[in-house]
Chain A
Amino acid sequence: MKEKKGFAKMELSDANLQTLTEYLKKTLDPDPAIRRPAEKFLESVEGNQNYPLLLLTLLEKSQENVIKVCASVTFKNYIKRNWRIVEDEPNKICEADRIAIKANIVPLMLSSPEQIQKQLSDAISIIGREDFPQKWPDLLTEMVNRFQSGDFHVINGVLRTAHSLFKRYRHEFKSNELWTEIKLVLDAFALPLTNLFKATIELCSTHANDASALKVLFSSLILIAKLFYSLNFQDLPEFFEDNMETWMTNFHTLLTLDNKLLQTDDEEEAGLLELLKSQICDNAALYAQKYDEEFQPYLPRFVTAIWNLLVTTGQEVKYDLLVSNAIQFLASVCERPHYKHLFEDQNTLTSICEKVIVPNMEFRAADEEAFEDNSEEYIRRDLEGSDIDTRRRAACDLVRGLCKFFEGPVTGIFSGYVNSMLQEYAKNPSINWKHKDAAIYLVTSLASKAQTQKHGITQANELVNLTEFFVNHIQPDLKSANVNEFPVLKADGIKYIMIFRNQVPKEQLLVSIPLLINHLQAESIVVHTYAAHALERLFTMRGTNNTTLITNTEMAPFVEVLLTNLFKALTFPGSSENEYIMKAIMRSFSLLQEAIIPYIPSVITQLTQKLLAVSKNPSKPHFNHYMFESICLSVRITCKANPDAVGSFEEALFMVFTEILQNDVQEFIPYVFQVMSLLLEMHKNEIPSSYMALFPHLLQPVLWERTGNIPPLVRLLQAYLERGASTIASAAADKIPGLLGVFQKLIASKANDHQGFYLLNSIIEHMPPESVDQYRKQIFILLFQRLQNSKTTKFIKSFLVFVNLYCIKYGALALQEIFDSIQPKMFGMVLEKIIIPEIQKVSGQVEKKICAVGITKILTECPPMMDTEYTKLWTPLLQALIGLFELPEDDTIPDEEHFIDIEDAPGYQTAFSQLAFAGKKEHDPVGQMVNNPKIHLAQSLHKLSTACPGRVPSMLSTSLNTEALQYLQGYLQAASVTLL
């Protein structure tokens, strides 16, 4: 640790306090012109000694409350930024201040009002993370001593701080340091905590009639229960094993406790009682899962208590977390073979089904509200399974858990319920529709044993007849003329088709398709979204021999109405950027193929209008993505049938694209480049002038600074080179250095170097040699610099491919000459240190082929390999080539490189969104020139041996190993040649 050479010092004077107050006040000013300089000033003085102490003084003694709070927040942020001592960096807080802070902060925190207490408590845990326990040995005793104070505001402050210090025990990996710390904490903390727990519970009964006292005491109990969880997480501590009776008996009592004074009127927010019980369920679940052997005697009691709790807890939202935690506890226990007996009694099962599962599956007022007013959230929960904490979900998990041992009885019990609920519905649908909803949900959860997003339900309970239920209870709802009636039941029905699509026979699905298309017109967002989603899922289903299950012939009668309804659905309020609908559009295009061509003019107009509209403020990434995919599909499908149509697409799209590029709509630019690449590749002849006009702009550095642009831009430049290399050479030769500059920029980065090589390979492959002649040496110098200074496996792999491509294009001799002109004997060094030892790492069919052909050239078309000191490398190189043919790929990566992508990964938001339907075909630059590289090697060797008879066999016999030799014999035989 380096200490900064002396800290400048601020006096702890009134004048300084006054100044600081002024500046703090200014940091709250809404006007940035005032706020920013003040923030800057504070930052500039925070390195001074006493600065944190001035803040602490202010937060304690300032006359103005707002300054107190502001000082506490500033203090916490200061601690967050500066407390940690980073190796090789100066210490940012002087030692005297550190000591003073640690000496004062706990009492200060405890005597502060709650708003400030919270900030200081956070600061303590930040400091604790660094200093506790070694550099802050008194902290624990200081905290524990406060337990004696009898003041529960103080005690809660201590508990909260302890919780923020100890909660990391729940997620950190076991290590000596960690366990030493926990042991220390247990030694000092476990007994006082237990005593406090007992004392608090006693106080709860003494103060059973004092609402405000109870609130404070219950807050303590919640924190104590949380601390219990943290301290018991890593392993069962000796102390808690010895005191299990105390803790578990009290937890059990608390679970069964109720007190009117603690019930809240709020329907949404969980009260103290719920929070406490919820945490106790967690604690019991922890013990049941991890310390089963020791916990076994207590478990049945908890099962009963939690079950009773469930039976007596109401439907209000505030109980949701408690109920789902409690159900999850039962679900995890009932799967364990040695607790099977706790559930197997028919009465128990019936009453769990009746009193726990069915009530928690009911569609509640809150669900109805979400269905209507917050459909996005509803869909996410219901469709995408982000319902982990919901009651319905917990109930569903309990059904599955029980089915593990009791599938028959449980199915039997529920069948009865389903029937009676359906009867209730039939009596008066408009009032009792919720009964049918519950019945459908129950059938769904009972029937589904395994499920995936892509395939829906994949394993079903054989005791449930899904098709019968579908025909009798689902289809009638969807066939009714009014698509807007009972929207929840419509949504249920559509969802049923969606998830059981693999169980319901195909003819039923075909019957459903027009019904689903019809429901795209429903006003309810949930209903038309589900209809779109269901169609999309049906269209992806696979039939035999890997074609789609639903064929485009079967869809022929519906093409027009499908497209019309899909685009119309996008005009419903709230659905203008509905990703499910857009995805269904994409999927429909993909399924219908040329059947959409007649509608393309109208479709592409609607898509470009949509594009123009959303480009003002792109907010739905998935929607946008599918929209661009749909555009790509339109281009592909149409141009496949009629290549000349590309012009009309360019006409329709370029105006919007230009606007996107000019307005720098960052989210869309990578997509635009991909669509342009696709369009450019559709051209069979010379590159159109409109593209050439854009070319210089693509080389602008600003575009390349955004990582998301790099892959599509490289792809676009490759398309330019493929289609228009000669045009570039003749009409834009002055842009070649800029193009190479892009390569240079990319090659300098460990993350992007492969993209640089893509570009370079295209340049070498397509550009006329004379136009790049003057740059070739520099290119290699750049590559050698990377090799010298920071080579990585990825770089070497790309380098090998490039070198061999170069060799194929320019000849082996040219390769040797350019290497050796940079530095004498360079060619030999690259062969010996890079090519021979690393060639086994090259991956990819085409890449391997390039390397094989390139190396063959070096072996057989490079005279210096035969008659200079390089000759000694000839056989090792041949051996390496045979290895490339015959040995498995070497995919090891040196240890130190595993850190690279972790360290260099800048986070995941700078994503590049690759369009599947703008995909590039794999390109083989060697192509037909060489079909079978092994035969090619044999033939080339044969040719070489005829040129210098005797040499080749003698080189082979001296140092090629036998196995390699055998393989080689095989190639020679296959090529029907012999070596002279």
Chain B
Amino acid sequence: MPGMNEQDERMRKFKNKGKDAAAMRRQRVEVNVELRKAKKDEQILKRRNITITLEDRLSPEQEKKDASAQLSLEEIIEGVNAKSLEIQLKATQAARRMLSRHRNPPLNQIIEAGIIPRLVEFLSRNDNITLQFEAAWALTNIASGTSDQTRAVVEAGAVPAFIDLLSSPHMHISEQSVWALGNIAGDGPLYRDSLIKCNVIPPLLALVSPATPIGFLRNITWTLSNLCRNKNPYPPLEAVKQILPVLICLLQHEDKDILSDTCWAMSYLTDGSNDRIQIVVDTGSLSRLVQLMANPELMVLTPSLRAIGNVVTGTDEQTQSAIDAGVLAILPQLLRHSKPTIQKEAAWALSNIAAGPCRQIQQLITCGLLPPLVELLDKGEFKAQKEAVWAVANFTTGGTVQQVVELVQSGALKPLLNLLSARDGKTILVILDTISNLFLAAEKLGETEKLCVLVEELGGLEKIEALQTHDNNMVYRAALGLIERYFAGEENPDLQPEADQDRQTFNFSAEKQDFYDF
């Protein structure tokens, strides 16, 4: 309903009138629907194990043999149900191989073949580790598919079996189980929570030790991150508190994959209400996260920036912790990063810091954030410019007059006014509100006239005038408001909205009401 949006919009504007800075902080998700391609820089939800295993690589002749002994689906069905252990293994292996194919693995055919229950049974075959392993692998790959495909695995009862296998004495089996459980957890909050209910966390955490091989540790980290992931609902607080200490350790690791997934986990944990953010803040890990924002690896930088970005959506105190951890020193280089998505995320974080009280705005100025912000506003890619506009808007809402003056002196006005020709109504509206804030500051300094001249010189007046014909009601009203208030000319009409009256005669009379109570 368009009416609703308009109201929300107006509410936001009022909050910006000065009081409620928290309301200006913008959480990550404004719209749940996405038109864009899923982002390439997001962490992967589910993974299929398609790597060639050690044994395959070591014995090319076996590979050949296997290739010749490729089984049909019918043969596989028959095979897994056969009595002979050898045939079971052969069939399972064949199924696993099909599922590990690089292109078009036949996940659905395997599911429809109805062999999943058998594969799950094989998971408990402690007598035959090879069979156990092959089954675990096959199931991992099925679980890496769509939600329906993952469900097929879960509903066959694989979860308890995999959790048991975490404690298998054989590392490759326990590792495969970690992987499978990661895929299941990655499906969404429902399975994530059912895993947690099945007590997956303690045995999983028990696998982490200084001796854990790096590859294994990567898998564990990834699975842990999936256990932290997703909203609606968030993972239970208890679980988060169990996992966090381990994540904090992993955060000290040097491996970039481990760091990346750990940071992703931190970003999920901070992507929520302020009490969730607080739990992360309390671990004292913000300085490490900030440090990682300077990491040369994009895969580490992206999630750490995101985590800190989430933290600064929190309360003033939480934001202050991020500032104390040094975020303002790193942001300039990120605002100037070569990748637009990084610029955008950095500007988003900055916009939320600018939504804070004026002492935080002052820190932002002191740390030299204005020049890169203005550069971004001027030359950034559009999505980064949009965030930069928000940063400026919030700045002008919460900043003192002196701070706003500094902003204007850093040259923010020109690029801001240029963006009035952006093809995005919301951005335009935010800019118009910002201009209105600038005028409020100028009024306090008695420099309205000067600002009028500046806005006109920079071509802003013309753009604002043109916006009076904008199709969006709120935009045109905001533009009209500015024109009437500040640019109506020296002796142009002072426009006063008037309301209608219904009475016709002016008989002066008044009757007292029963009881006044104001």
Q: Are A829 and B516 in contact (CB under 8 A)?
A: yes
Q: Are A175 and B31 in contact (CB under 8 A)?
A: yes
Q: Are A898 and B10 in contact (CB under 8 A)?
A: yes
Interface membership of chain A positions 890-916, coded 1 if the CB is closer than 8 angstroms to chain B and 0 otherwise: 001101001101101110101111111
Any B CB within 8 A of the CB of A237: yes
For the complex formed, measure the closest distance between the CB of B29 and the CB atoms of chain A, giving whole angstroms: 10
Any A CB within 8 A of the CB of B53: no
Interface residues of A in 352-402 (CB under 8 A from B): 385, 388
Q: Are A171 and B470 in contact (CB under 8 A)?
A: yes
Residues of chain A within 8 A of B457, CB atoms compared: 450-452, 458-459
- Could you tell me the distance between the alpha carbons of A646 and B474 in the complex, rounded to whole angstroms? 49
Nearest-neighbor residue (CB-CB) of B7 within chain A: A899
**Contacts A174-B426, A289-B423, A452-B461; is A186 near B35 (CB within 8 Å)?**
yes
- Could you tell me the distance between the alpha carbons of A224 and B511 in the complex, rounded to whole angstroms? 67
Q: Are A742 and B506 in contact (CB under 8 A)?
A: yes
Q: Are A236 and B472 in contact (CB under 8 A)?
A: no
Q: Are B496 and A911 in contact (CB under 8 A)?
A: yes
Stretch at the interface among B153-161, B244-252, B487-495: B487-495
Interface membership of chain A positions 326-370, coded 1 if the CB is closer than 8 angstroms to chain B and 0 otherwise: 000000000011000000000000000000000000000000000
Q: Are A710 and B498 in contact (CB under 8 A)?
A: yes
Q: Are A752 and B37 in contact (CB under 8 A)?
A: no
Q: Are B501 and A705 in contact (CB under 8 A)?
A: yes
Chain B contact residues, majority secondary structure: loop
Q: Are A751 and B491 in contact (CB under 8 A)?
A: no
Interface membership of chain A positions 173-207, coded 1 if the CB is closer than 8 angstroms to chain B and 0 otherwise: 11111011011001000000000000000000000
Stretch at the interface among A75-83, A785-793, A803-811, A876-884: A785-793
Interface membership of chain B positions 495-518, coded 1 if the CB is closer than 8 angstroms to chain A and 0 otherwise: 111111101111111111101111
**Contacts A452-B456, A785-B513; is A906 near B499 (CB within 8 Å)?**
yes
For the complex formed, measure the closest distance between the CB of A922 and the CB atoms of chain B, giving whole angstroms: 16
Query: Pick the contact of A834 from B423, B470, B493, B518 — CB < 8 Å?
Result: B518
- Could you tell me the distance between the alpha carbons of A913 and B491 in the complex, rounded to whole angstroms? 9
Any A CB within 8 A of the CB of B148: no
Residues of chain A within 8 A of B498, CB atoms compared: 707-708, 710, 749, 751-752, 906, 910, 912
Among B35, B505, B513, find the residue whose CB has the most chain A CB atoms closer than 10 A: B35
Residues of chain B within 8 A of A388, CB atoms compared: 462, 466
Query: Pick the contact of A455 from B33, B37, B379, B453 — CB < 8 Å?
Result: B453
Residues of chain B within 8 A of A743, CB atoms compared: 508
Stretch at the interface among A46-54, A314-322, A774-782: A774-782
Q: Are B14 and A175 in contact (CB under 8 A)?
A: no
Q: Are A749 and B508 in contact (CB under 8 A)?
A: no
For the complex formed, measure the closest distance between the CB of B88 and the CB atoms of chain A, giving whole angstroms: 43
Q: Are A830 and B19 in contact (CB under 8 A)?
A: no
Residues of chain B within 8 A of A458, CB atoms compared: 453, 457
Q: Are B513 and A171 in contact (CB under 8 A)?
A: no
Interface residues of B in 347-373 (CB under 8 A from A): none
Among B429, B498, B509, B511, find the residue whose CB has the most chain A CB atoms closer than 10 A: B498
Q: Are A748 and B471 in contact (CB under 8 A)?
A: no
Among B38, B382, B429, find the residue whose CB has the most chain A CB atoms closer than 10 A: B382
Residues of chain B within 8 A of A751, CB atoms compared: 496-499
Residues of chain B within 8 A of A707, CB atoms compared: 496, 498-500
- Could you tell me the distance between the alpha carbons of A892 and B17 in the complex, rounded to whole angstroms? 8
- Could you tell me the distance between the alpha carbons of A289 and B379 in the complex, rounded to whole angstroms? 11
Any B CB within 8 A of the CB of A462: no
Query: Pick the contact of A704 from B458, B471, B506 — CB < 8 Å?
Result: B506
Nearest-neighbor residue (CB-CB) of B503 within chain A: A745
- Could you tell me the distance between the alpha carbons of A778 and B508 in the complex, rounded to whole angstroms? 9
Q: Are A336 and B513 in contact (CB under 8 A)?
A: no
How many B residues touch A, CB cutoff 8 Å? 75
Residues of chain A within 8 A of B9, CB atoms compared: 173
Residues of chain B within 8 A of A172, CB atoms compared: 2, 5, 425, 472
**Contacts A337-B379, A452-B457, A625-B493; is A174 near B31 (CB within 8 Å)?**
yes
Any B CB within 8 A of the CB of A711: yes
Any A CB within 8 A of the CB of B105: no
- Could you tell me the distance between the alpha carbons of A917 and B35 in the complex, rounded to whole angstroms? 57
Residues of chain B within 8 A of A241, CB atoms compared: 36-37
Any A CB within 8 A of the CB of B480: yes
Query: Pick the contact of A822 from B11, B491, B503, B512 — CB < 8 Å?
Result: B512
Query: Pick the contact of B507 from A180, A540, A741, A749 — CB < 8 Å?
Result: A741
Interface residues of A in 694-724 (CB under 8 A from B): 699, 701, 704-705, 707-708, 710-711
Query: Pick the contact of A744 from B2, B383, B475, B506 — CB < 8 Å?
Result: B506
Nearest-neighbor residue (CB-CB) of B30 within chain A: A174
Residues of chain A within 8 A of B480, CB atoms compared: 908
Stretch at the interface among A1-9, A290-298, A420-428, A849-857: A290-298
Nearest-neighbor residue (CB-CB) of A709 within chain B: B498
Q: Are B504 and A171 in contact (CB under 8 A)?
A: no
Interface residues of B in 125-150 (CB under 8 A from A): none
For the complex formed, measure the closest distance between the CB of A622 and the CB atoms of chain B, giving whole angstroms: 8
Q: Are B495 and A911 in contact (CB under 8 A)?
A: yes
- Could you tell me the distance between the alpha carbons of A530 and B503 in the complex, rounded to whole angstroms? 49
Residues of chain A within 8 A of B14, CB atoms compared: 895, 898
- Could you tell me the distance between the alpha carbons of A874 and B273 in the complex, rounded to whole angstroms? 46
Any A CB within 8 A of the CB of B381: yes
Any B CB within 8 A of the CB of A826: yes
Residues of chain B within 8 A of A911, CB atoms compared: 493, 495-496
Q: Are B500 and A906 in contact (CB under 8 A)?
A: yes
- Could you tell me the distance between the alpha carbons of A745 and B502 in the complex, rounded to whole angstroms? 9
Any A CB within 8 A of the CB of B424: yes
Nearest-neighbor residue (CB-CB) of A907 within chain B: B497
Any B CB within 8 A of the CB of A112: no
- Could you tell me the distance between the alpha carbons of A892 and B453 in the complex, rounded to whole angstroms? 28
Residues of chain B within 8 A of A834, CB atoms compared: 518
Any A CB within 8 A of the CB of B18: yes
Any B CB within 8 A of the CB of A740: yes
Q: Are B471 and A171 in contact (CB under 8 A)?
A: yes
Any B CB within 8 A of the CB of A470: no
Residues of chain A within 8 A of B51, CB atoms compared: none
For the complex formed, measure the closest distance between the CB of B25 and the CB atoms of chain A, giving whole angstroms: 18
Residues of chain B within 8 A of A781, CB atoms compared: 510-513
Interface membership of chain A positions 432-460, coded 1 if the CB is closer than 8 angstroms to chain B and 0 otherwise: 00000000000000000011111100110
For the complex formed, measure the closest distance between the CB of A165 and the CB atoms of chain B, giving whole angstroms: 15
Residues of chain A within 8 A of B50, CB atoms compared: none
Query: Pick the contact of A904 from B13, B462, B497 — CB < 8 Å?
Result: B497
Any B CB within 8 A of the CB of A738: yes
Interface residues of B in 160-186 (CB under 8 A from A): none
Nearest-neighbor residue (CB-CB) of B515 within chain A: A823
Residues of chain A within 8 A of B35, CB atoms compared: 179, 182-183, 186, 234-238
- Could you tell me the distance between the alpha carbons of A267 and B423 in the complex, rounded to whole angstroms? 31
24 inter-chain pairs at a CB distance below 8 angstroms, sorted by A residue, are: A171-B475, A172-B472, A173-B474, A174-B426, A235-B35, A237-B36, A238-B37, A289-B423, A452-B461, A625-B493, A707-B498, A745-B501, A749-B498, A749-B499, A751-B497, A781-B510, A781-B512, A898-B10, A902-B477, A904-B499, A905-B497, A906-B497, A912-B496, A915-B491
Pick the 6 closest A-B CB pairs, nearest first.
A741-B506, A707-B498, A751-B499, A450-B457, A905-B497, A171-B471
